[in-house]
Amino acid sequence: MTEADMDLLKRYKREIEYCTFCPRLCRFVCPTALAEDNETYTPTSKMTLVYLAEIASARPEEVKKAFYMCVDCKHCMTPCIHKIDVPKVLIAARAKAFRSGIADDNVKRFADALEKYDHPYSRIMGDNLKEVVDAGHRTRPAVADTEPSAAPGGTQAGPAPTVDGGKERVLYFPGCTALRFDKELVKDAMGLLSRLGIRTDIMDEPLCCGYPGYASGNMDWFMKVASRMKQVLDGYDTVVSTCPTCITTFRTLYHRHGIDIKARPVHMLEYIAPAVRPLLDGRKKEDTTAAYHDPCHLGRHLGVYDVPREIIDRLYERRVELLWNRDDANCCGGGGAVPLTLPGTSGKIARKRMGEFRSTGADVLLTACPSCVRWLQKADGDAKVMDITRVLIDRLAE
Residues at the site binding ligand SF4, with contacts judged by CB under 6 A: 18-19, 22, 24-26, 29-32, 43-44, 47, 70-76, 80, 82, 84, 86-87
Q: How many CB atoms lie within 10 A of CB 59?
A: 11
Q: Which is nearer to ligand SF4, 44 or 216 (CB)?
A: 44
CB of 75 to ligand SF4, least distance (A): 4
Q: Kind and range of the H or E element at 297?
A: none
- The rounded Cα 342 to chain-centroid distance in angstroms is 18
| Residue 111 amino acid letter | A
Taking the complex as a whole, the smallest distance from the CB of residue 93 to ligand SF4 amounts, in Å, to: 12
Give whole-number Cα distances, 228 to 2, 147, 159, 164, 168, in Å.
Answer: 21, 9, 19, 28, 22
AA letter at 155: T
CB nearer to ligand SF4: pick between 43 and 152: 43
| Shortest distance, position 394 Cβ to ligand SF4, whole Å | 33
Tell me the closest approach of the beta carbon of residue 215 to ligand SF4, in angstroms: 11
DSSP-derived secondary structure letter, 149: P
Residue with smaller CB distance to ligand SF4, 128 or 245: 245
Closest distance of CB 358 from ligand SF4, Å: 23
Residue number with CB closer to ligand SF4 (94 or 187): 94
Tell me the backbone φ, ψ of residue 321, rounded to 5 degrees.
-95, 145
141: which residues sit within 8 A by CB, 6+ positions away?
150, 155, 203, 204, 205
CA atoms within 13 Å, Cβ hemisphere of 397: 11
Residues 6+ apart with CB under 8 A from 266: 238, 239, 240, 247
7 forms beta bridges with none
Q: For ligand SF4, give the closer residue by CB, 49 or 71.
A: 71
Collapsing DSSP states into helix, strand and coil, what is residue 49? helix
Q: How far is the CB of 95 from ligand SF4 (least distance, A)?
A: 15
Q: Looking at beta carbons only, is 44 or 241 nearer to ligand SF4? A: 44
Q: Print the SS3 string covering 255-276.
A: HHCCCCCCCEEEEHHHHHHHHH
Q: How far is CA 295 from CA 114, 325, 334, 376, in A?
A: 25, 10, 10, 11
Closest approach of ligand SF4 to the CB of residue 29, in Å: 6
For the CB of residue 36, give the shortest distance to ligand SF4 in the complex, in Å. Answer: 11
* Choice between 30 and 132, CB closer to ligand SF4: 30
The CA-based diameter of the chain, rounded to the nearest angstrom, is: 65
Residue number, 74 or 297, with CB nearest to ligand SF4: 74
| Separation of alpha carbons 132 and 183, rounded Å | 7
